[in-house]
Structure 1
């Protein structure tokens, strides 16, 4: 390659996850301009390109099993100065689809990567669920198909964060059984056929959902953390009386704190500090 040849640009383009009107103006500009498009499913992409009148494109089939092989072809085009768009079958590339190897290699070869953001089933489901996300969440994409591999991943997860997965309709029942076995029954948000005609958004629980017989369309499932018991409302006057009675029985402050913490679902350390402070101030 001529060292003076300007390298092409790799556009990482988000496509609609269902409703074709959810495409952005920038995404359409790129798809209409580039000569080559690397896509996970050529059949799906052809329908979209035809809908928007830009079907005369050279498509590179870019699914998981050929990702590295086809990446080299795309990188060669980019180094020859040809712009290429990378798209998934639906939604934002790489979130749970092929393309990460290609993008990393592009950076290594000083090829400019330009994100064209847009729809994602992940962000769509989270925003429609109403879940508070200030503490974060865990995204697993598609879980392994084998039960033991699934269990190994699920058992290693923290229990205090929402878990988001993608799942195919023919595998969801087995996955739900695994969740029930590992986590027990939990609340969950079920999102199916997002942005499509038969879109379904539903708050339910794992046990109820596992009894469902028919699932159609791609699924995004959000499993909520274990429910935490709410602390009991404390009557501090009554608590003081209990402290006095326990002290009268000869119990030490640490023992008292431990007993009352368990009774009122409080922190034993905080109760102990309260007792010491009260003792110093002469209140107990």
Structure 2
């Protein structure tokens, strides 16, 4: 990242603020203090943020709309605000900014101008879903919202298909059933959890395999945004199948190695000894299996 020559007032600061994801009682005292004291509050939707401000009697005259469609166009304006020493809070409609929400350009601009970036931690649907899921939390991989087209989804998921981790993603209700089916067909019928309405009155966690969750969603007509969590680690059956495949592959390669070595003039005994050591197969079994080659 290019660092711009700093002519910024030392009072300039960017606060990246986590806000409640449903239950306004999850607000932190530190967040309220920051929102009351900053000069500007950048928010995705001023109507959503006004609800929070109204609940805690914070004047809403410093709100400015800032979303994915205007963040690049606002960059010059942001530089002016930081240069003038403004203290700016960044919030999203719910949860932690930058986590599938706009805000990266604000942080990028602040860092380039050597303006302090101060996180105000708090609610996050990713973490709330993880701790309530019952799945192993470490490691986990957050994937955000899946792309809409099948070809883009395949490219999006490919780097993580073999990741031995809990995969976490968000999905809208009208795409949920198709996404679960895609995950099942691509990853296998792994253990999974659907978390919905987190921190709200009808918060729920549905647990089962991806196939079972597909059936449940088809019968329920889902509403609200979902956190989808998949345990992508190998099951005992998966691990055994992989071991069997690896053993068979090693055995076939050892047989081929013995044949090739003997064709090059190596003795049967020596060829077996070297191939057994190289591919980790039992020497006596390999010797017996390749005895016919010596006799031919």
TM-score bucket (shorter structure): 0.7 to 0.9
24 and 71 in structure 1: CA distance in 2 versus 1, 3 angstrom threshold: farther
| Aligned residues of 1:74 and 1:84 also touching (Cα < 8 A) | no
SS of alignment partner, residue 127 of structure 1:
helix
Tell me, what secondary structure is at the counterpart of 1:69?
coil
Kept in 2: contact 1:35–1:57 (CA 8 A) = no
Please say which of residues 67-76 and 140-149 is displaced more in the overlay: 67-76
Any unmatched runs of 5+ in structure 2?
Answer: 1-5, 241-271, 286-296
Name the SS for the 1:191 alignment partner: strand
Alignment of 1:83 with 2:90, yes or no, is no
Instruction: Report what 1:223 is aligned to.
Output: 230
1:72 Cα deviation from its structure 2 partner: 3.1
Partner of 1:148: 151
Tell me how far apart the structure 2 counterparts of residues 70 and 171 of structure 1 sit (CA, whole Å).
32
**Contact persistence 2:197–2:225 (CA under 8 A):** yes
**Does structure 1 conserve the Cα–Cα contact (< 8 Å) formed by 2:136 and 2:231?**
no
Q: What do residues 48-69 of structure 1 show as CA deviations (whole Å, max 9, x unaligned)?
A: 1100000333211111121111
Offset from partner CA, 1:82-125 (integer Å, 9 cap, x none): 11100111111111111112102211101111111111001111
Describe the SS at the equivalent of 1:145: coil
Structure-1 separation of matches of 2:102 and 2:8 = 31
CA distance in 1, matches of 2:143, 2:17: 22
SS at match of 2:71: helix
Residue of structure 2 in register with 1:174 after alignment: 178
Specify whether residues 228 and 27 from structure 1 end up closer, same or farther in structure 2 by C-alpha distance, changes over 3 A only: same
Tell me if 1:58 matches 2:62. Answer: yes
Q: Secondary structure at the match of 2:153?
A: helix
Per-residue deviation, 1:256: 9.4
Query: Shift in Å at residue 170 of structure 1?
Result: 1.5
| Structure-2 separation of matches of 1:209 and 1:128 | 17
Q: Deviations over 1:202-221 (max 9, x none)?
A: 21221122222311111100
Tell me the secondary structure at the aligned position of residue 65 of structure 1.
coil
Structure 1 stretch displaced more, 33-42 or 11-20: 33-42
CA offset digits 1:250-271 (Å, max 9, x no partner): xx789999xxxxxxxxxx84x7
> Is contact 1:8–1:79 with CA below 8 Å preserved after alignment?
yes
Q: How far 1:41 moved relative to its partner?
A: 1.6
Instruction: Compare the two structures and name the one with the higher helix fraction.
Output: 2
Separation in structure 1 between the aligned mates of residue 228 and residue 7 of structure 2, nearest angstrom = 49
Deviation of 1:272 (Å) = 5.0
Give the structure 1 partner of residue 204 of structure 2. Answer: 200
CA RMSD of aligned residues (A): 2.7
Shift of 1:132: 2.3
Quote the offset at 1:38 in angstroms: 0.4
- Would you say how many aligned residue pairs link Structure 1 and Structure 2? 243
Match of 1:138 among 136, 141, 157: 141
- 1:85 match: secondary structure: strand
> Is residue 128 from structure 1 mapped to residue 132 from structure 2 by the alignment?
yes
Secondary structure class of the residue paired with 1:68: coil
